[in-house]
Amino acid sequence: MWTFLLLIPWIFSLRIDESKTLSKIAFGSCHHHKRPPNPKIFYSITNWSPDLYIWLGDSVYADIPYFYIATYPRNLSSWKQLYDNLKENPGYKELRNTTMVTGVWDDHDYGINDGDKNFILKKEAKTLYLEFLEEENSKRLGHEGIYDSYTFGKKGKSIKIILIDIRSFRDNKWDSEGDSLGEDQWKWLEKELNNPGDITILANGLQINAQERWIKTERWHRKSYQKLLYLLNKTPGVILLSGDVHMGEILKNTCENFPIYEITSSGMTHTAFTTFGPLVWIPAYGIMSFTYNTGPRILKFNFGTIEVDWNTGDIEMAIRDSEGKYLFLEKTSIGELYSKPKKSYLCEKSEAYRSSAHILAMLLVYLFPIAEICIAILIFLRKYSRSY
């Protein structure tokens, strides 16, 4: 009877075990309780049988919208209730029962839209978040914020997971000179990157290689982005993960010492398309530049996957739909992650050039056909309208 009771936590949620070698990792973000639930996506993740699932933020939406312009934090009991409800979601329950789960927060599970270091409930938020992940003895309790790292598997087949806390130490997003990680987290990150895995996965809520986009989704502060690139230039084998933007895409930055892939998976219950409708095609397929894109922006519900074949060194990175089918697949290898990339001509250009050139190209693609259609209509009217 007592042994049975002791076993319960292990039966219902698999614990992190760093002695395991990982070859399949899944991840996702943006799970809203007010949207139609999508338990299927959790079943699909489970069926894909990952060794580890990583939350990239916004696992719950703990903030309450205020006239569409701002949000305020909800009380702690209803906040906890959101996590409890998610834990009761049958799809998530099954995932939790069969797969190791970890994660980091972004703004909405931190407790406030676009939240930064000044959020007053960050201690309470941390307690609730670690309770949600069932990390009673978490290493993260030893410091402020929720950054953490794990190294799974032995040398030769090791994957290091670095979880970045992009909220607790972040200066306000409008502070252009601001810092995204805070001094302690930077020191820690530098140490972690000095001691990488064969593959190192750096996971956080915000998109990283998105500096030059005209539509300013939230992002790393410019100086912090450059500081991160400086560290990544000394560390081969890194893949970045991000969420937040309610779409999926796979980016590849070839402007540094090693190719830096970034997989963005966002939108388990809602995407920019389900929120804004076809209007979102204008930014997603038009205005937002594609400097680092390896493929399209994905506006369907999605989760992301990385699969490593340790025998060949091949790596498959994918964005998948609620059924688990590929929406986009990109292949690389450990060899490629450790080699000098072939630089794109855009690397030499300034950020302003990149985004302006993109806007100009988009005008040519969209505005010219529209102008032509207008002229054709005018000619037609002129020819056939008697009143003319």
Ligand X SMILES: *[C@@H]1O[C@H](CO)[C@@H](O)[C@H](O)[C@H]1NC(C)=O
In the complex with ligand X, the residue whose CB is nearer, 39 or 283, is 39
In the complex with ligand X, the residue whose CB is nearer, 33 or 173, is 33
Q: How far apart are CA 185 and CA 189, in angstroms?
A: 6
Beta strands in the chain (DSSP E): 24-28, 52-56, 63-66, 70-73, 100-104, 148-152, 159-163, 199-203, 238-242, 249-253, 260-264, 303-309, 314-320, 326-333
Nearest to 293 by CA among 358, 363, 361, 218: 358
The residue from 19, 77, 385, 387 that contacts ligand X (CB under 6 A) is 77
Q: How far apart are CA 99 and CA 210, in angstroms?
A: 31
In the complex with ligand X, the residue whose CB is nearer, 67 or 174, is 67
Give min distance, CB of 76 to ligand X, in A: 8
The residue from 93, 117, 143, 349 that contacts ligand X (CB under 6 A) is 93
Instruction: Tell me the window of 90-98, 289-297, 356-364, 369-377 that interacts with ligand X (CB under 6 A).
Output: 90-98
Asked if 8 touches ligand X (CB under 6 A), the answer is no
Q: How far apart are CA 161 and CA 76, in angstroms?
A: 30
Number of residues that bind ligand X (CB under 6 A): 8
Instruction: Tell me the window of 74-82, 153-161, 174-182, 337-345 that interacts with ligand X (CB under 6 A).
Output: 74-82
Percentage helix, strand, coil, to 5, in the chain?
Answer: 35, 20, 45
Q: Which two tokens stand for residue 256?
A: 């540094």
Asked if 31 touches ligand X (CB under 6 A), the answer is no
Give min distance, CB of 90 to ligand X, in A: 8
In the complex with ligand X, the residue whose CB is nearer, 94 or 330, is 94
Q: Which two tokens stand for residue 97?
A: 């029962």
Residues 6 or more apart in contact with residue 230 via CB below 8 angstroms = none
In the complex with ligand X, the residue whose CB is nearer, 33 or 300, is 33
Give min distance, CB of 43 to ligand X, in A: 11
Residues 6 or more apart in contact with residue 87 via CB below 8 angstroms = 93, 96, 132
Q: Which long-range contacts (CB under 8 A, 24 or more apart) does 175-184 make?
A: 175/221, 176/221, 176/222, 177/221, 177/223, 178/221, 178/223, 178/224, 179/221, 179/223, 179/224, 180/206, 180/220, 180/221, 180/224, 180/225, 181/224, 182/117, 182/145, 184/143, 184/144, 184/145
Q: How large is the C-alpha radius of gyration of the chain?
A: 22
Asked if 94 touches ligand X (CB under 6 A), the answer is yes
Instruction: Tell me the window of 26-34, 89-97, 294-302, 376-384 that interacts with ligand X (CB under 6 A).
Output: 89-97
Question: Which amino acid makes up residue 293?
Answer: N
Asked if 33 touches ligand X (CB under 6 A), the answer is no
Instruction: Tell me the window of 93-101, 153-161, 313-321, 345-353 that interacts with ligand X (CB under 6 A).
Output: 93-101
Instruction: Tell me the window of 75-83, 133-141, 145-153, 239-247 that interacts with ligand X (CB under 6 A).
Output: 75-83
In the complex with ligand X, the residue whose CB is nearer, 98 or 254, is 98
Give min distance, CB of 33 to ligand X, in A: 12
Partner residues linked to 55 by β-bridges: 28, 103
Question: Which amino acid makes up residue 347?
Answer: C
Asked if 88 touches ligand X (CB under 6 A), the answer is no
Give min distance, CB of 100 to ligand X, in A: 14
In the complex with ligand X, the residue whose CB is nearer, 81 or 293, is 81
Give min distance, CB of 302 to ligand X, in A: 24
Asked if 11 touches ligand X (CB under 6 A), the answer is yes
Q: Please answer whether residues 215 and 236 qualify as being in contact, where contact means their C-beta atoms are separated by less than 8 angstroms.
A: no
Q: How far apart are CA 315 and CA 350, in angstroms?
A: 31
In the complex with ligand X, the residue whose CB is nearer, 71 or 168, is 71
| Three-state SS at 43 | helix
Asked if 97 touches ligand X (CB under 6 A), the answer is yes
Where in 213-242 is the site for ligand X (CB under 6 A)? none
In the complex with ligand X, the residue whose CB is nearer, 97 or 233, is 97
The residue from 32, 74, 108, 221 that contacts ligand X (CB under 6 A) is 74
In the complex with ligand X, the residue whose CB is nearer, 10 or 388, is 10
- Which residues in this chain contact ligand X in the complex, by CB under 6 A? 11, 74-75, 77-78, 93-94, 97
